[in-house]
Amino acid sequence: MPDGPVGILVATALTLGLVHTVIGPDHYVPFVALGRAGRWTLRRTLVVAGLCGLGHVISSVAIGLIGVAAGLALPSVTGVEEARGPIATWALIGFGLAYGAWGLWSALRGRRHSHVHIHEDGSAHVHEHGHEVAHAHPHGSGKAVWVLFTVFVLGPCEPLIPLLMYPAAGHDWIALAIVTGAFGVATIGTMMAMTAIGWAGFRVLRLGLLERYVHALAGGVLALSGVFVMVVDV
C-alpha cells in the first residue's frame, strides 16, 4: 500500500467501499432475487453483479472527473451525486413492481390444465401441466439484467467523490487511478461476495406451491430493497 496521503486515501477507499456495500442491501439483494427466480448459475449471477458494480463505480468516477474539469467545488459535485440517489431508488422500486407484475401475470397465465391422451390400445390417461416456467424463464431474463444495469449506473457512490477530488485537483492521475481502483475493488468485490452468500443460501430454498410465483416474489423483493434504502437512507 502507498505511503503518506495516498496510502491514507487508499485505506479509506477500501473501508468505505466495503461498508458502503454491506449496509446497502440494494447492492446485492437484487442479484440474489433475480438469480433465484431465473435459476441462474453462480457464475452468471456473479457476472451480472460484477457488471452492474462496474457501471455503478464508473458513473460516479465520470461525474467526479467532469466536476474537476469544470472547476466545480466539492459540495457541488457531491450535490449532483446526492441528487442521483432518489432517482436510482425510485427506478429500482419501479423496476421491482413492474417485474413483479410481469411475474404474477406469467404465473396466472400458466395455470395448470389437463390434456387427455388416448393410446393405440384404447386406454387413456390425463396429463396435467403448466407453461409458466417455460414462458417466464427464458424471455424476461436478459431484459431484466440490462434494466438492472441501468439502475446501478444511475446509482451514486457518494463516498467516492471526496476521495477523488483530492488527487484530481492536484492532477495526480496515478494517485487518482489507485484510489479509484481500491474503491472499485472493495465495492465490486463485496457486492459479489454478498451475492454469492445469498445465492448459496437461497439456492436450497424450496417455495413449494409458491414456486410458480417466484418471479412475482423476486419483483417484490427488489421493490422492498429500494424502499428500505429510501427509508434508512444508506
pLDDT above 70 (res 133): no
Whether the pLDDT of residue 115 is over 50: the answer is: no
pLDDT of residue 2: 67
110 pLDDT band, cuts 50/70/90, is: low
Give yes or no for residue 113 having a pLDDT over 50. Answer: no
Alpha helices for 110-169 (secondary structure H): 132-154, 160-169
Q: Residue holding cell 445465492?
A: 199
Most confident listed range (31-40, 68-77, 117-126, 186-195): 186-195
More confident residue, 166 or 37: 37
Binned at pLDDT 50, 70 and 90, residue 211 comes out as: confident
Look at residues 81, 227, 89, 78 and name the one whose alpha carbon lies nearest to residue 151: 89
Using DSSP bridges, classify how beta strands 124-129 and 113-118 pair: parallel, antiparallel or unpaired.
Answer: antiparallel
Average per-residue pLDDT in the chain? 84
